[in-house]
């Protein structure tokens, strides 16, 4: 009997790549995202090419009610792996950005993550095993001007993951948090972030590293040498300097350019 994994934001990007990665490693899948057609395409591919069992559940996790319905649908079910991947970004000066979009972002990246983790943990604890994989960002390590709420939400995710790992140290449950940098996904387009075409690591590469390192029991996973350097510098520079450094880098890359 295959192990099972639940993945949020599984219709594209890193979530989609992780669906294929887990399927290739013998996991049946429960996939959720807001785009039903794209989600069904991922499911069909996993079934046809790999032969695992796949269920889909369409939900917009920006809506707390939809998250509640999802949690009811998985109640009392056991998952060997939970992947909290769903998320999106909001770019711009905080004084000018849309607060509704930012609160929806926090619902997806924080509230849904907390609620789903709370929902699957009892079964993992009862069966003495499981893995939780939270998809954060290299921005977890630093405040980021023009993406203030987004970077803060990723810092929350990293802090929460580390605290939860400590709480679960007497169990056989592993908490891993992945902190990728620029990745070739639709994420940046949705956030209105300009960047060079095809820059960054592929979602498939991030997923492969994340799965391999999670399987080894690694807690904080930073894929790629440049991202490791960024994380190191961010952790050791004073906040006033790191924000200036990031603003300069993002200005050079065109990330902060107004659309």
Residue pLDDT, tens place only, 187-218: 444 444 445 545 689 999 999 999 999 999 99
Number of domains in the chain: 1
* 10 located within any domain: yes
- Write down the pLDDT at residue 189: 47
* 219 located within any domain: yes
Catalytic, 27? Answer: no
Kindly report the CATH number assigned to the domain that includes residue 226.
3.40.50.720
* 259 located within any domain: no
* 258 located within any domain: no
Domain holding 149, by residue range, is 3-253
* Alpha carbon distance 236, 249 (integer Å): 17
Lowest mean pLDDT among 58-72, 86-100, 164-178, 225-239: 225-239
- Write down the pLDDT at residue 154: 97
pLDDT-based confidence at residue 2 (cuts at 50, 70, 90):
confident
* 197 located within any domain: yes
Per-residue pLDDT tens digits for 118-148: 999 999 999 999 999 999 999 999 999 999 9
* 100: CB partners within 8 A, 6+ apart: none
The catalytic position among 79, 139, 141, 150 is 150
- Write down the pLDDT at residue 259: 54
* 179 located within any domain: yes
* 38 located within any domain: yes
- Write down the pLDDT at residue 188: 47
* Alpha carbon distance 253, 58 (integer Å): 35
* 97 located within any domain: yes
pTM, to two decimals:
0.90
Structure-token pair, residue 64: 């707390």
DSSP 206-252: HHHHHHHHHHTT-SEE--SHHHHHHHHHHHHS-HHHHHHHHHHHHHH
- Write down the pLDDT at residue 258: 63
């Amino acid at each position: 009997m295959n192990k099972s994994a639940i993945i949020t934001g599984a219709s594209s990007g890193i979530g989609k790549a992780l669906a294929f990665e887990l399927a290739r490693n013998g996991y049946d899948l429960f996939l959720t995202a807001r785009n039903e057609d794209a989600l069904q395409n991922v499911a069909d591919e996993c079934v046809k090419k790999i032969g695992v069992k796949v269920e889909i559940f369409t939900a917009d996790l920006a809506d707390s009610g939809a998250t509640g319905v999802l949690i009811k649908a998985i109640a009392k079910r056991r998952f060997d792996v939970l992947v909290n991947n769903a998320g999106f970004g909001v770019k711009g000066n905080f004084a000018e950005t849309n607060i509704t979009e930012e609160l929806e972002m926090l619902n997806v990246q924080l509230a849904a993550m907390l609620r789903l983790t709370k929902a699957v943990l009892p079964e993992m604890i009862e069966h003495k095993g499981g893995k939780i994989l939270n998809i954060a960002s290299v921005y977890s390590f630093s405040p980021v001007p023009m993406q203030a709420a987004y970077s803060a939400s990723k810092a929350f995710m990293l802090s929460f993951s580390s605290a939860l790992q400590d709480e679960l140290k007497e169990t056989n449950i592993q908490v891993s948090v992945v902190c990728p940098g620029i990745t070739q996904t639709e994420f940046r387009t949705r956030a209105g972030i300009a960047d060079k075409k095809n820059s960054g690591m592929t979602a498939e590469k991030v997923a492969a590293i994340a799965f391999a390192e999670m399987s080894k029991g690694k807690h904080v996973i930073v894929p790629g040498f440049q991202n490791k350097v960024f994380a190191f510098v961010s952790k050791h520079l004073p906040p006033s300097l790191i924000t200036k450094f990031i603003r300069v880098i993002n200005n050079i890359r065109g990330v902060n350019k107004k659309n």
